[in-house]
């Protein structure tokens, strides 16, 4: 939903460009999709100002500048919706790629993205309830270092007070794409963005009249451990003649995973809508409901693992939760150079866990309730100053969070419950941001600043004790890129990230443990090539993370501490090649990525040692081959060994809670057949972990120990369009 600014410029030869542009009359135009129009930005801004006068007589071709565009891209005005020219490390995984990977969870997909690791070192490891993603050596336990969004709206139950995704309301079958910006998006979203910004985009409302519908059913069977589950999804959508567009999305799961007693149930329902008030105004929104219950077997000692890695010594442990959400927006393309948008969201969430202690004598119950409200207006003005174009955006976001977390124990021998410990949490956060996206010839420069004002309070219900924290911080950033040609982009960027002390961390503060807010600075330099056959990228990064807060391993209740500074640096690279249609290998696509990360503690007794739970080396290799109605996929992922504690202990403890975690490589195979005579129907069969590789990670919660990874899995999936 946007209008385009048309300007005439004289086209140039490939070798010469002219800085002179003649401003002309304009007229509104509505492209078929905002994404397609946004994709014009990079190509048109550069050529509109970079044509050589020597070639002005050779052509009178028209160059079109993309309009200011707030809503067309979740990252906001002036950012190309394509990762092709983005001035930072960015990877977009589309639905077709997700399906070709054979992934059963979001974590499976994320493992294939450079710089991203799925750590699974939490009490919900391997389950559908949580998301455990670490970026560039940052802790992955419940993904606390990344700003995670669902359709541009914060996914965390409390984005400031509890950004950890111990409860992640997102399902694979409802996802259209996963967009991972590892750096370069800090001004618009924060403060927890040192690990980048991750946006899960749900399937879009159709833009054509008539009913669009499809259904997917998938059966997963683990050949070891005896687990089996069913995943299913339904999509219904239409665009009405009166301007109203609707889409109903449902994704579900029922069954168990590879561990005994790992039963799960998931329901993910959303109704999306949009309405064109006029050719320049639109309202849109979504109502959603998500619920899940997941039984979690927990960690095993070395002896237990060797006897049966799939056993469950905690058959009564489980996590559950639900979330109801509403978000809405209003977009007004005031003119060809001005646009205003306001978005608001509200959600209510509940999650709880019941976990037995290591001695097997007590169960701990931890129900939590959350309410979060947010509103964000922003305005964009396009300006032309000499040979430069500027998209200046000013925005404000207010988020208010309130909730309670409760804790009590049940003594199994007597059945008696302890007194309930309750804390009330309140956070009010005001964020202001300003950026200027400048285009000058083939150069793109975006300076910006975000200022956060955060007030947090935690109240002990029984004692009345109050813990307070005020965190205010400016967060400057700058992105620079040069468009060498239509395929090649070179970029560099600098960004800052600020992490306030969170709700559950506040009462860990004491004279001997004075928690300080986290502050990170990230530097990047990289290059990207994208054409019809080649996609390649290379990025070097360095990140300095001061006063990083981590949970003390095995502490129950959780105790947090600053481990001082950590330095993270590394190289990320990826390549994708599709053979030409005239080649003897037509139909073949091959791809690979490789990441080297070094994350080192810089202070304290463990200075010089690795940060826990990340692998220095990860890589993915794969090939896809299309022939007739068939598509075949083969791929492999690998991660090197990692440490599970700050001291980098090599030898494993008998209970399996500490020790070096071995690396592993897994292979997957898949075949898909498109059913002839049907527009949108196919059947897929696949085999994950072909060689039944036995691997594990460690859980560092109260139910610590070895956690076996997924064994060989056979799956069959049917997808049918109507």
Candidates 254, 276, 275; CA nearest to 263 is: 254
> How far does CA 628 lie from the centroid of its chain?
35
- pLDDT, position 549: 78
CA 541/CA 569 separation, integer angstroms: 5
- Is the pLDDT score of 77 beyond 70? no
Mean pLDDT value across residues 391-407: 95
Phi/psi at 109 (5° precision): -70, -45
- Is the pLDDT score of 477 beyond 70? yes
- Is the pLDDT score of 297 beyond 60? yes
What share of the chain in percent tops pLDDT 90?
63
- pLDDT, position 5: 32
- pLDDT, position 499: 83
**More confidently predicted of 106 and 267:** 267
Candidates 255, 249, 250, 251; CA nearest to 230 is: 255
- Is the pLDDT score of 357 beyond 60? yes
Q: Which range among 3-7, 290-294, 522-526 shows the weakest confidence by mean pLDDT?
A: 3-7
- pLDDT, position 467: 87
- Is the pLDDT score of 432 beyond 60? yes
The runs of H, that is alpha helices, within 55-94 are none
- pLDDT tens column, 196-236: 899 999 999 999 999 999 999 999 999 998 899 999 999 99
Mean pLDDT value across residues 37-43: 33
Mean pLDDT value across residues 61-80: 41
- pLDDT, position 513: 80
Q: What is the pTM of this model?
A: 0.87
Going by the DSSP 8-state scheme, the letter that residue 487 receives in this structure is S
- Is the pLDDT score of 58 beyond 60? no
Give the count of beta carbons closer than 10 Å to the beta carbon of residue 424. 15
- pLDDT tens column, 642-675: 999 989 999 999 999 999 999 999 999 999 999 9
- Is the pLDDT score of 293 beyond 90? yes
Average pLDDT, the chain: 85
- pLDDT, position 143: 86
Of the candidate CATH numbers 2.40.110.10, 3.30.300.90, 2.40.30.10, 2.40.170.20, the domain formed by 198-336+343-461+476-721 belongs to 2.40.170.20
- pLDDT, position 123: 67
> What percent of the chain is helix, strand and coil (3-state, nearest 5)?
5, 55, 40
The domain segmentation of the chain, as residue ranges, is: 1-67, 198-336+343-461+476-721
Candidates 548, 606, 541; CA nearest to 144 is: 548
**More confidently predicted of 140 and 26:** 140
- pLDDT, position 503: 87
- pLDDT tens column, 150-174: 999 999 999 999 898 888 899 989 9
Candidates 283, 287, 291, 303; CA nearest to 351 is: 291
- Is residue 255 within 8 Å of 263, Cβ to Cβ? yes
């Amino acid at each position: 939903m946007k209008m385009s600014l048309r300007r005439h410029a004289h086209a140039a030869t490939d070798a010469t460009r002219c800085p002179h542009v003649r401003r002309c009359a304009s007229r509104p135009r509505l492209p078929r999709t905002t994404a397609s129009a946004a994709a014009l930005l990079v190509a048109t801004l550069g050529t509109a100002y970079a044509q050589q006068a020597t070639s002005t007589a050779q052509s009178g071709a028209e160059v079109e500048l993309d309009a200011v565009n707030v809503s067309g891209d979740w990252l906001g005005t002036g950012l190309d919706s394509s990762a092709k020219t983005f001035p930072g490390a960015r990877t977009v995984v589309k639905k077709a790629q997700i399906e070709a990977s054979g992934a059963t969870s979001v974590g499976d997909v994320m493992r294939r993205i450079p710089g991203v690791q799925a750590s699974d070192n939490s009490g919900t490891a391997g389950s559908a309830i949580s998301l455990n993603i670490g970026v560039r050596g940052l802790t992955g336990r419940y993904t606390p270092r990344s700003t995670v969004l669902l359709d541009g709206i914060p996914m965390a139950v409390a984005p400031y007070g509890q950004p950890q995704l111990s409860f992640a309301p997102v399902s694979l079958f409802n996802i259209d794409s996963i967009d991972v910006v590892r750096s370069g998006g800090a001004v618009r979203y924060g403060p927890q963005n040192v690990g980048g910004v991750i946006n899960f985009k749900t399937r879009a409302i159709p833009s054509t009249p008539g009913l669009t519908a499809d259904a997917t059913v998938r059966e997963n069977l683990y050949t070891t451990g005896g687990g089996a589950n069913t995943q299913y999804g339904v999509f219904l959508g239409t665009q009405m003649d009166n301007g109203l567009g609707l889409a109903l999305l449902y994704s579900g799961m029922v069954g168990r995973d590879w561990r005994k007693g790992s039963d799960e149930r998931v329901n993910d329902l959303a109704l999306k809508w949009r309405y064109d008030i006029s050719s320049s105004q639109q309202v849109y929104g979504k109502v959603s409901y998500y619920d899940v219950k997941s039984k979690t077997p927990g960690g095993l000692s070395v002896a237990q693992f060797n006897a049966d890695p799939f056993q469950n010594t905690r058959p009564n442990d489980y996590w559950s939760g639900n979330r109801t959400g509403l978000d809405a927006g209003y977009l007004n393309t005031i003119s060809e150079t001005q646009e205003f948008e306001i978005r608001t969201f509200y959600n209510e969430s509940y999650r709880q866990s019941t976990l037995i202690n290591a001695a097997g004598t007590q169960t701990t119950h931890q129900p939590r309730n959350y309410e979060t409200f947010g509103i964000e207006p922003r305005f964009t003005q396009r300006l032309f100053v000499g040979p430069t174009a500027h998209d200046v955006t000013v925005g404000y976001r207010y988020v208010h969070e309130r909730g309670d977390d409760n804790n009590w124990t049940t003594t199994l021998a007597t059945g008696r419950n302890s007194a309930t410990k309750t804390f009330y949490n309140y956070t009010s956060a005001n964020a202001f941001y300003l950026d200027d996206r400048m285009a000058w010839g083939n150069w793109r420069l975006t300076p910006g600043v975000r200022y956060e004002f955060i007030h947090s309070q935690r109240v002990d219900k029984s004692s009345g004790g109050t813990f307070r924290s005020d965190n205010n911080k400016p967060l400057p950033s700058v992105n620079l890129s040069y468009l060498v040609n239509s395929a090649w982009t070179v970029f560099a960027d600098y960004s800052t990230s600020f992490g306030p002390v969170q709700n559950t961390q506040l009462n860990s503060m004491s004279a001997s443990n004075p928690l300080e807010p986290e502050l990170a600075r990230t530097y990047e330099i990289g290059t990207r090539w994208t054409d019809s056959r080649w996609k390649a990228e290379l990025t070097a990064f360095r990140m300095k993370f001061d006063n990083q807060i981590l949970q003390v391993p095995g502490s129950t209740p959780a105790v947090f501490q600053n481990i001082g500074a950590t330095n993270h640096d590394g190289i990320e690279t990826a390549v994708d090649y599709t053979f030409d249609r005239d080649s003897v290998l037509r139909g073949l696509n091959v791809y690979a990525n490789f990441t080297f990360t070094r994350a080192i503690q810089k202070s304290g007794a463990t200075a010089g040692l690795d940060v826990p739970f990340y692998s220095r080396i990860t890589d993915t290799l794969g090939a896809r081959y299309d022939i007739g109605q068939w598509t075949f996929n083969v791929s492999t992922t690998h991660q090197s060994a990692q440490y599970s504690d700050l001291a980098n202990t090599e030898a494993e403890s008998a209970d399996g809670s500490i020790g070096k975690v071995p690396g592993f490589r897994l292979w997957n195979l898949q075949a898909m057949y498109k059913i002839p005579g049907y527009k949108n129907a196919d059947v897929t069969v696949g085999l994950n972990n072909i060689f039944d590789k036995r691997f594990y990670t460690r859980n560092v919660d109260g139910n610590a120990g070895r956690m076996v990874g997924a064994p060989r899995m056979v799956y069959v999936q049917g997808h049918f369009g109507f």
